[in-house]
Structure 1
Amino acid sequence: MSRSKFKADIAGGSLKLPESRIVAGLLLDDVSAEDWRRAIEDENVLQKRSPGTAARQASLLRARLQTMTPELWHLVRDGSKETATHALLAAAIKHSPLFGEFLNRVVRERFRTFQSDLPRKLWNEYVEHLQNEDADMPVWNNATTNKLGDSVFQILKESGFITDTRTYRLQPVQIAPAVLSYLRDTAQHDVIERLQVTL
């Protein structure tokens, strides 16, 4: 078992706002394990092609949301598209140090030096640098590294940091006030720092 904080915990895990709203609702309803299974696998509330796919995705989204408290789940379930998206972005940062550090080290530096884009190769260079830095970090093959990168760049697109996943053009993002207020109230200053890489 790797002792590294950097894990492949973001693969297949874009923000998935509609599904996350449903999962947040189940968490807020405090459903039993059986009711959770019934909703996800039998009733297919996430509208996935197979019970296995639904269960895997629900498990990831639940793990991501459970890094935060019910106050954030309310923002995800009931907030505007922007507020809910930024709430999910905060949860993704908290859940995945691999993603959070990419924002903190690489994306922040691109904004700081007034670069206009975020080349995809920077992801691979970042992962290679981390593996040299952290002896406990797993060594992934190219396919895994690229799959993780797909998720990261999709999240950056969904949250507005890049305009698309073809040109990777950067744009500044103003984080929803309700999300920043929640993070300040819960003293999650490290998450705020990673959200505000454009400042």
Structure 2
Amino acid sequence: MTKELDYSATLTGASFLMYELKQVLKLKKQGLLNEEIKKKVIEENVFDYKFTSSLKRSVPSVIRRVNVLDEQLQEWVLNNTLEESKIINLYAIMKTDRLFFEFMNEVIREKLETNNYLLEKKDLNVFFISKSEQDEKMAKWTELTVNKLKQVYLKLLFEAGLLKDKKTGVLNRLLLDESLKRHLSYIGDTAYLRAMGE
């Protein structure tokens, strides 16, 4: 469960990574283990990155996301619509990043529940200020790190389809497939469904 994770700023180096997630899932399907996947991705530049340093930074995050997806979810990412794959990726990001999950749960869910479809700068600011007051480690983060995270959060929401426009901050409701909703409820992950506005 997300609660055990420490707050982290790793998302600054690993945003949505949808294409990368699919590539790693394909390798996993071939029976490769995490270390083998990591080695292959870096040695063969599976993600088609310009710099190896970018590969090294994003691979661990993608592998972490893949590891929180059960077989059914992995199957859906590979075979269902891009929209559904994006929603499952968003779920995997929440499962592997406590701070982002709390942002989704405390800011986005609340807005969608009250039919307030506007995400403002102050919403992000208030969230990060209150979290850094509660967490010593986070209180030590530089302004640069926090600002980068705010940008990444907006990008994640945009790429997942929750944010219509990064400039205006207008939010969108996600259309979750019934079988996906049933599956997440069945595996006990309704908290993530709620965080996505369900």
Do both proteins adopt the same fold according to a TM-score greater than 0.5, normalized to the shorter chain? Answer: yes
Q: Deviations over 1:1-42 (max 9, x none)?
A: xx8732213223322221111011112223146642453122
Deviation at 1:80, TM superposition (A): 1.1
Greater shift in the superposed pair: 178-187 or 55-64: 178-187
Q: Aligned AA for 1:22? A: Q
Q: Which residue of 2 aligns with 1:5?
A: 6
Greater shift in the superposed pair: 4-13 or 183-192: 4-13
**Residues 40, 46 of structure 2: 8 Å contact kept:** yes
Q: Which whole-Å CA distance do the structure 2 matches of 1:89 and 1:68 have between them?
A: 11
Q: Which residue of 1 aligns with 2:118?
A: 117
Q: Which whole-Å CA distance do the structure 1 matches of 2:191 and 2:145 have between them?
A: 27
Q: Which residue of 2 aligns with 1:167?
A: 168
Q: Which whole-Å CA distance do the structure 2 matches of 1:87 and 1:33 have between them?
A: 20
Q: Which residue of 2 aligns with 1:47?
A: 48
Unaligned runs of 5+ in 2: none
**Residues 93, 99 of structure 1: 8 Å contact kept:** yes
Q: Aligned AA for 1:97? A: R
CA RMSD of aligned residues (A): 2.2
Q: Deviations over 1:28-65 (max 9, x none)?
A: 22314664245312221100012221122121111122
Unaligned runs of 5+ in 1: none
Deviation at 1:136, TM superposition (A): 5.4
Q: Deviations over 1:74-106 (max 9, x none)?
A: 222222101111111111111111111111111
Q: Which has the higher helix share?
A: 2
Q: Which residue of 1 aligns with 2:61?
A: 60
Q: Which residue of 1 aligns with 2:20?
A: 19
Q: Secondary structure at the match of 2:182?
A: helix
Deviation at 1:134, TM superposition (A): 3.4
Q: Secondary structure at the match of 1:39?
A: helix
Identity of aligned residues (%): 23
Query: How many residues get paired?
Result: 195
Deviation at 1:114, TM superposition (A): 3.3
Q: Aligned AA for 1:142? A: E
Q: Secondary structure at the match of 1:166?
A: coil
**Residues 41, 47 of structure 2: 8 Å contact kept:** yes
Q: Which residue of 2 aligns with 1:99?
A: 100
